[in-house]
Structures are given as C-alpha cells and as structure tokens.
Structure 1
Amino acid sequence: MDRISDLPKIILHDILSRLPHKDVARTSILSKAWHETWSTFPILVFDGFGRGIHLPLKDKGKPLKIQHHRRKVNAFLNSVDRTLVRFHHHGFAIKEFSLSMMFFHPQFMPHHVDRWMKIVSQSNDSIKVLKLELDVTDHRFGFGPFSVDKYYYLPPDVLKAKLITKLELSGIIRVDKLFVNHRIRFSMLQILSLSKVYLGHEQALDDLISGCPMIEDLTLEYCFGLENVKIHDLPKLKSVKVSGPRVVDVDVPSLEFLHIGNRDLQLPCNINIDKCRNLKVLLLGFVSSVFVSNQWLLETFNKFPFLERLELDSCVTSESIKISSFRLKVLSIECCHEMKEAQINAPNLESFRYFGTNINVPAISFVNCSDQLEFDAVFSIHSCLDLERFRVFLHNIEPRNVMTSLALGMVNGSPIASNEDVLQNVPVKIKQLILRVGEETQEVCVLLIKALFWSFRPAIVSLKLRLCSKMFVKVSLEKLKWKDEEDGCCSSSNKMKCLLVA
C-alpha cells in the first residue's frame, strides 16, 4: 500500500528536494500523485549541457548536425517557456531557479531570458536561489558570427527578488549598469558568486556588496574590469574566493576561509589580509607576490593563530622550507618547482598532499607526526628518468613508517616494466595505489602489475576506469582475484582489495 503518496504536498516536496535533479524528474511516472507533486515542485533546474545540447568541434561544418543542434536548442527554450508560464499562470511558488545555457547567443536569446527573469523574480516573493550561467561555446556552430563583447544585460527585474539568499552569475553577463544605476538591497543574501561576468569597474562591486550586509560566502572569479578587490564592512563573511585581480585587500575579522588564485605567475597580485585574524583555511595558487620562505611561513602562522589548512599551488618557494604549527591539520604542496627539501613539524597534521613534478624531487620529512597522518603523493611517469626520480622521492620520505597513498599516471608502462628492480625494497608503506595507465600490450600489463604490486604491496588498488586501458583493467582483475595463489600477488599473506573508480 502506497502511504507516501498521501502525505501532504509540502512533505513530498521536501523529499524531492533531497534527491538529485534527474531522480526528481523520474518520480513523475510513479503515480498521478507523484506527477502532480513533481509538476508543482518549486525547485526548477534547466541544464542545457546536461541534456546533451552541445555541438562538438568536429561537427562544425556538417549541416545535418547543425540542424539537429538547432532543434535541440529550440526544444530547450520551449521547455523553459512552458514550465515558467505554467507556474506563473497557476501562481505556483518558485524557490530555486537554475539556468545553464552553454549555447547562448546574445542576438537571438536575450528576450527569452528577460522574460524568464521577470517571472522568476516576481514569483510570490518566494525565490531564494537564483543561478544563471550563460556561455557561447557553440556560437560558431549554426548561429553565425557575432562579437563576444555583446554580453547579456542582467535586467532590473532581478532586484525585485528581495528575499533571495543565494545569487550565482557566470559567463557573458553584464551587471555594471544594473548595480551602479540602482540601489541594491538584498538584505537576506548570504551567498554571492560572480564568475567571468562583466563588472566594468570596482564601483559596481562596492555598490553591490554594500547593500548585502548578510553575505557569508563570496566568490569573484576572473570578472572583467575588476582589477582591485577591496572587501570590508561584511560582519558575517566567513568565506572568500578571489581569482584574477591584481590587488586583494580583505579587512574582515570574521573571515575563516580564503582562496586567492591566478592563471599564471606572470600576473602580479598584491595581497593584504593581515586583519583576518580568525583565518582557518588559506589557499594560494599562482600568486607571484608571495615568496614562501621560512620567514613567510613563520609570520603566516603568527598572524593567523587558528590556521588549520594551508595549500600552496604553483607558488614560488625557497629551496628548503620548514613548516611548524601545532594547529595545522591539512597541508598541500603542488607544483612548487623550487622546493628541494621540506621539514614538517605539525603534531596534529591529519592530511598531507604532495603533487610531484618532473623537475625536482624534494626530500620530505615529518617531525612529531601523528599516527593518523594521511600522506598522498601524486606523480606522472613518462620516462625512465621520471621513474628514477620517483624512486629517490620514496627513499627520501622520513620517517619510513608514514602510511602513504600513491596516485601514479603511467603515460607509458614500459619504463617500470623494463626496470622492475628500480622499485624493489621500497622503504615506505603504501596503503593505497591509484593507477591510470594508457594503452599497453597484455605482456607489458602483466610486467607492470607485477612490478608495481610486488614492490609496493598496497592494501588497496584503485583503477581509474576512464584513464586506464581496457587491457590493463582486464589483466588487473585477473591478477587480483580473492583466492590463495602461491606465486600470485594475492597470496593468503598478502591480500588486496581492488576498486574500480569511474
């Protein structure tokens, strides 16, 4: 007996809100009651890419492919239209609206989006979440040429959504005129994310956040016209992610999470975050103005006494660094080419991740490390030289009893297969081995598996299905059967688990 269908609609909507969007749509075929529940569900998600509306580059000059693509685009536009008109006609509430169009054309489609924004913004003052992503990845395929400078202007109707708590804008969207020429009052806004949108200048951002005193989470990624970011007078702000600007000035004592990044080290980025005394997480990527030396590390941990997580990605470092912190729990060092030695004194460290490069192989040692420390190392091996550097890296880990997870990318398996002795007697304990291996012959796969598994004897082996050849997966499964074999990898004294990871 179906008792769930008899529950009040508000409860059924709550059940649907906890399901993935695709599963929500599937519930409409369960029964008439569920179809009615789905048809009034106040969370609307329209994802063009998720519906397969994408024309690959290889089909650029194929008229039939272009025509089929246009039909799919028109069907998508009509679907959004019908749904929103139905909600508006019956007075149904819209609590969340998400629209993603990677095929947006600024000449033919703005009037559609304008109409949708008007309906959504006036939906019984119920809209809480608004996500809008517009991009032009398909602009060359079937719509004719246009200038990418023609951004979509966010309409004033959006300002009517007074109770909105989350606003995410991404892609070719202009907000400069709206935010400068109108008084912004999003008094309930808690999450604001602007990615690749056109801001024009810093005043647009100042005008926006000045009317949003309740913001807790702020993301600004490569927004056009935003060279200087100054964030202040936001007493609730906990998290900030900024990418692209040349100056970042954050004066928010309540801040706990800060991520600053750029696309490359050639762009200078001056940072002033000294007043963020309660910072717990600091992530830096491609920040050329920061030279990670022992002095910088010492000052950083003194400035931010509550810092628990530090991640350095493609930063400039001194050859030898010493990291000493009692509070530090998570540490990540990725693609820091200058570093040749790292001494880590963090007794409460729970996770350390090192993403290796083919340039330097640092000696990493842990002082007073915890028994719970998880050490993850990631390497790509292209040649015998990379293999030798990898062996040196493993031998340089101190102390030897640190449990390590390895993620290896084998562009060509023959370097290990033909040099099995290179990895013999590896001094560290390998808890998990994660592999991605390209196309190989069965003979090479067998040699590679024996070399890796016998050298490391991991407790768990994970194979990246999308990045491993079918041959390697097949041979791995044959060698990792759960049975006793005197001369196999999985003897009774050394059983392994094999996981297939999508």
Structure 2
Amino acid sequence: MDQISGLPEAILHDILARLLDRDSARTSVLSKAWKETWSTFPILSICSDQHFKREDVTVDNYHSKIDKVIDYVGRRSLRLRDLGLAIKEFKLIMDYVDYMCMAHHVDLWMKMAIESGGEVLHLQLRLPGRYAWRYSPDRFYELPLCVIESKSLTKLVLMGGIRVDQAFLTHSIKLYSVRIIKLCNLLFAHERIIQRLISRCPLIEDLTVIDCAVYNPLTRGIPRGFAFSPVESLFLHGLHKLKKAYIQGMREVYIDAPNLESLHYNLHPDASFKLNLYNCTNLRLLCLWNLRSIDIGDKWFLKLFSKFPFLESLELDNCSMSQRINISSAQLKVLKLSYCSNLEDLNIDAQNLLSFAYEGNNQPGISFQKSSNQLEVNCFSDVDFRDLYSLRKFVQNIKPQKIWASVSLFIRSSVLIKPEQSALQVSSIPPTIKSLELQFSPKNEAHYFPFINYLLSSCCPNSISLNFRSYLHSKEFIEFLYEILMGRKEGKCHCNSSNTKCWWHALKIVKVICTFKIDENADFKTMLDALPTCHADENIGFILELYSTD
C-alpha cells in the first residue's frame, strides 16, 4: 500500500524539494496524487538539459526546442497563478542558448516570481563557446530592474551571460531580506554597481563574487566598439551579518565585517593584490590561492595568527613560500598546503591540529613539535621512477616517527620509466603508515611489478585501497596486486642481504575488502567479476597485517 502519497501536501513538497530537479519532475507520472502534488509544487525549476541536449540542437530545430521550454514554463507558472500559489523559488538554467529570442519571456517569468513573493531567484545563462567575453554586450541578457525591487528575496544567484546596466547605479534597491548572494561571470556597465548592489543588502550572510567584468562601450580602436576589463576592486563596509565570503579574480579587496568567519580568496596566478580584512577578528577559516607576488614566511604566519586569534582552518594553494617555515598556533585545527613553491623544511607547532594535508611536486621535510593524538596526515603524491628514493625519503622525513601511524598516502599519477632492478633494492623495512590509496595504476603490464615494489619499498601501509574507475584501474592490475600480496605470483625479492628484509617479508595476513555488494564468503575471482563495469564510485582494497619489526 502506498502510504507516502497520503502524506500532507507540505511534507510531499518538502520531499520534492530534496530531490534533483529531473527526479522531482518524474514523480508526476507515479500516480494521480503525485501529479497533483507536482502541479502545486511552489518551486519552478527549469534546466535546458531536461528538454534538449546541446548536441541535438541544429539551426533548423533551434526555435522549436526553445518553444518547448517556453511552453513548459508558461503552463507551470500559469497553473500556480490560477491556484493563487506563490512561486517560492524560481530557477532558470539555460545552457548554450541564444537568449535574444528569450529575453521577453525571461523578463515575464522573473516578474511573476518576484511579484508573487518569491524567496529564491537563480538565473544561470551561458553563451555558446568557452570565451563569452568575445561577444558583444548585446548578446548578454539584460537584467531587469524588478530584481532589485524585491523585498521578499532571501537568495539571489546570477551566473554568466547576464548584463547589469547603468540604471542599477541610481535605481532604488530594496533587497532588505537577502541573505545569500552569488555573482559569477557577470558583465557590469560600471564597477561601482557591484559595490552598491552588495552594500544595499544589510542582512547578507553569504557572499560569492567570481570573475566579473566591466564593459566600456565605444572604446576607440576597438573594432566592435566595446572592450571588457575585469572588476579589480571590491570594498565592503558595514556588513555586520556577513559570515562567509568567496572572492575570485579581484586584485584589491577590502572587507569590514566583524562577524566574518570564513573567507576564500582566489587570485589569478602571478597577479599583485591587496587584501585588507579590517575588523574581521572573528575569522575562523581562511583559504588563499595563487598568492605568488609575495614570499610567505615566518613573519607572515606570526602576523596572521596575531590578527586572527580564532583562526582554526588554513589552506594555501599555489602560493610562494620561504624555504624554511615555522608555523605556531594553539588554535589551528586544519592545515592544508598545496603546490607551495620553494618549501624545503616545514616545522609545525600546533597542539590542537587534527588534520594536515600536503600536496605538491616537491617533498619537504615535515616535523610536528606538538600535535593532537587525533592528528590525521594526508599526503598527495606523484610517483616518479626517475627519483626512486624520493617517496620513501619523504615519508621518513615526517617527524616524529609516531606520526607515521596517522599518515595516508594518495598516489595520483606517475612517470613510469621501468627502472633498473638494482635501484629497487632496500636496506630495511620501510616505515609503517596508516593507508595507501591508489588513484592511478599503470596500464602497461611490464610496469605492474616495479610500480608495486616501488610503493611498498617506500612504505608499509596497513591498508591499500583503489577507488574503482575502469579508466583508471584495470581488473588485470587489481588481480596482479592481489596475487603479489598473497604470494601467488612470483617476483624477485629485493633484500640487500640476509640481515635486512624488504616489504615482502613484512606481510603476515592479507584481507580483501570492498564497498559493493558481494557474498562475504565469495572468493577473490568472484569479487573481481562483480566489480562495476561502469564508472561507479566503489572501492576495493586490502587490509595488511604486518610482522613486528622490533
């Protein structure tokens, strides 16, 4: 008996709101009750790929496909209007469509949503091709003024293919209830518009501004009569409710927000910048990308932790650093460094640190003066047979030794040049680490054994896992790895002498694990045959018990 269909309409609407747009639309064919529920669903979400695929659009059928979208939205919106229901959320995502023929309809839909007391407006338009800035501003959809006249909106998302004209500089803005704003790849008639728009939202809590531009009409020497330049500065004052901000592409950013807790700042590579976080002493999370114009060193970290005493999470990506860095913080809980150039030695004194992640081509010495007993260390590395000792040296250079028990290695890719067998010889069993995840494995069968031997000559993991993707891991490699671990496939041992043992001799017990459904008593061949044939998000792995090295 279908008991779900008998639930109150408000609960059914809540169920639909939690589904993907495509799946919620499909519920209308389940039964008469679900069809009625769908017809009164106050979220009007339109995505072009629900009606046609990009590759199916031709010059001849273009207008007929657009007409289907227009007809669908018209019927849904009129149905809600006739029932006297408000459109709580209006979402329009159109991909690779010329909006000049749709502008009038989009204007009407947004006006209807706003006048009915809509709370969420999500408008995402994409011009054909990768480089939208090549088009004339006339090809961008002109945002109507009614959007900033809404007193009921709580969330405003504007992304790509949208032009905000000069009238927004003087027109009254009434976005008194907006708490979330996302502006991405928009085209503004003047840089001051973006400042004015944000500053007139006194309740804003979550702000995202990504790669917006200004168009300058009738620029001399420009054949088409216009030119684009990035919005380079953002000055935010008096935003007392602001808690989260994501800023990308701005060279100069000034934020005065005493309750700001999270900031992501992404600069274009090698650009100079000015970042001033005045009165943001409550900051707890800071992520910085592409800060290449300064050299981040000990003084930079000292100043950072002094200015933001509650900072708990810090992420630096593609930043220029000094060769030797000392990081000291009693509050820091999460630290991630990715592709930070020049770094050779890193000393961390953070007694409450719970998570440390390192990613990069260079592999510095890392030491922890103080650390939590719950610390997890994740290292993302590429295997390079041209430097056979780098991975092992990297693991051994993580100090003190007790940290090894929390280290997880993620192998992403590799330069596979089959090494000389003598180069793989080791003088001792390598460090024991928590886990090894292979996000890559060689396709050439001749590289299977050198690859495995190189990894397990660098570390002895308590577990090895492979996130199964048929284009990343072949069943042949997984079977080879299994047989090597179980000792069923012969390979040469690489001990230097009878007094030293390599990883092969450290193995005691191997247990196979997987995330997909299989009889727990099934043998490995059956388990391997049950691996998904599609690109499923499943894992297969091995738990390794090692002999004591004492």
Same fold, TM exceeding 0.5? yes
The question of 1:190 aligning with 2:183 is answered no
How big is each residue's C-alpha offset from its partner over 1:24-48, in whole Å with a ceiling of 9 and x where there is no partner?
A: 2232232210121122211232223
Residue of structure 2 in register with 1:494 after alignment: 510
The question of 1:334 aligning with 2:350 is answered no
Residue of structure 2 in register with 1:210 after alignment: 199
The question of 1:167 aligning with 2:156 is answered yes
Residue of structure 2 in register with 1:228 after alignment: 233
The question of 1:256 aligning with 2:257 is answered no
Point out where structure 1 has 5 or more consecutive residues left out of the alignment. Answer: none
Residue of structure 2 in register with 1:384 after alignment: 385
Cα shift at 1:2: 2.6
How big is each residue's C-alpha offset from its partner over 1:37-67, in whole Å with a ceiling of 9 and x where there is no partner?
A: 1222112322234666223xxx9xxxx9665
The question of 1:17 aligning with 2:22 is answered no
Partner SS state of residue 91, structure 2? strand
How big is each residue's C-alpha offset from its partner over 1:317-349, in whole Å with a ceiling of 9 and x where there is no partner?
A: 111111111110110111111111110111111
54 and 452 in structure 1: CA distance in 2 versus 1, 3 angstrom threshold: farther
Q: CA RMSD in A?
A: 3.2
Residue of structure 1 in register with 2:48 after alignment: 48
70 and 446 in structure 1: CA distance in 2 versus 1, 3 angstrom threshold: farther
**Preserved CA contact (<8 Å) 1:388 1:422:** no
Deviates more, 1:40-49 or 1:449-458: 449-458
Partner SS state of residue 317, structure 1? coil
Partner SS state of residue 494, structure 1? strand
**What is the rounded CA distance, in whole Å, between the counterparts of 2:393 and 2:450 in structure 1?**
22
**What is the rounded CA distance, in whole Å, between the counterparts of 2:346 and 2:352 in structure 1?**
17
**Preserved CA contact (<8 Å) 1:5 1:33:** yes
Cα shift at 1:393: 1.8
Specify the code of the residue in structure 2 equivalent to 1:475.
F
Deviates more, 1:341-350 or 1:107-116: 107-116
Match of 1:133 among 118, 124, 128: 124
139 and 324 in structure 1: CA distance in 2 versus 1, 3 angstrom threshold: closer
Match of 1:79 among 72, 76, 84: 72
The question of 1:365 aligning with 2:337 is answered no
Match of 2:329 among 325, 331, 338: 325
Q: What is the count of residue pairs matched by the alignment?
A: 482
**What is the rounded CA distance, in whole Å, between the counterparts of 1:112 and 1:421 in structure 2?**
71
Specify the code of the residue in structure 2 equivalent to 1:310.
L
Cα shift at 1:77: 4.2
**Preserved CA contact (<8 Å) 1:192 1:218:** yes
How big is each residue's C-alpha offset from its partner over 1:203-237, in whole Å with a ceiling of 9 and x where there is no partner?
A: 21232123211000111111113221111111111
**Preserved CA contact (<8 Å) 1:332 1:354:** yes
Partner SS state of residue 401, structure 2? coil
**What is the rounded CA distance, in whole Å, between the counterparts of 1:388 and 1:495 in structure 2?**
28
Partner SS state of residue 13, structure 1? helix
Specify the code of the residue in structure 2 equivalent to 1:254.
N
Residue of structure 2 in register with 1:180 after alignment: 169
Specify the code of the residue in structure 1 equivalent to 2:511.
K
The question of 1:268 aligning with 2:272 is answered yes
Specify the code of the residue in structure 2 equivalent to 1:173.
I
Deviates more, 1:332-341 or 1:383-392: 383-392
Specify the code of the residue in structure 1 equivalent to 2:402.
N
Specify the code of the residue in structure 2 equivalent to 1:400.
Q
**Preserved CA contact (<8 Å) 2:430 2:457:** no
Residue of structure 2 in register with 1:90 after alignment: 83
**Preserved CA contact (<8 Å) 1:53 1:73:** no
**What is the rounded CA distance, in whole Å, between the counterparts of 2:109 and 2:40 in structure 1?**
17
The question of 1:441 aligning with 2:457 is answered no
Specify the code of the residue in structure 1 equivalent to 2:202.
P
Match of 2:246 among 241, 248, 251: 241
Q: Percent identity?
A: 37
Specify the code of the residue in structure 2 equivalent to 1:220.
V
Cα shift at 1:467: 7.4
Partner SS state of residue 133, structure 1? strand
TM-score by length of 2: 0.79
How big is each residue's C-alpha offset from its partner over 1:272-331, in whole Å with a ceiling of 9 and x where there is no partner?
A: 114211110111111245431101101110111000011111112111111111110110
How big is each residue's C-alpha offset from its partner over 1:344-383, in whole Å with a ceiling of 9 and x where there is no partner?
A: 11111111111112xx3211111111121111111233x4
Point out where structure 2 has 5 or more consecutive residues left out of the alignment. Answer: 215-230, 490-503, 516-535, 539-550
274 and 235 in structure 1: CA distance in 2 versus 1, 3 angstrom threshold: closer
49 and 309 in structure 1: CA distance in 2 versus 1, 3 angstrom threshold: farther
**Preserved CA contact (<8 Å) 1:459 1:495:** no
How big is each residue's C-alpha offset from its partner over 1:423-447, in whole Å with a ceiling of 9 and x where there is no partner?
A: 9733251424132235x13443355
Residue of structure 2 in register with 1:102 after alignment: 95
**What is the rounded CA distance, in whole Å, between the counterparts of 2:513 and 2:419 in structure 1?**
22
The question of 1:115 aligning with 2:131 is answered no
How big is each residue's C-alpha offset from its partner over 1:128-185, in whole Å with a ceiling of 9 and x where there is no partner?
A: 1111111113599xxxx96366321111222343211111111121224353131111
475 and 269 in structure 1: CA distance in 2 versus 1, 3 angstrom threshold: same
Cα shift at 1:81: 3.5
**What is the rounded CA distance, in whole Å, between the counterparts of 1:350 and 1:295 in structure 2?**
24
Deviates more, 1:216-225 or 1:75-84: 75-84
**Preserved CA contact (<8 Å) 2:418 2:450:** no
**Preserved CA contact (<8 Å) 2:209 2:246:** yes
Greater C-alpha Rg: 2
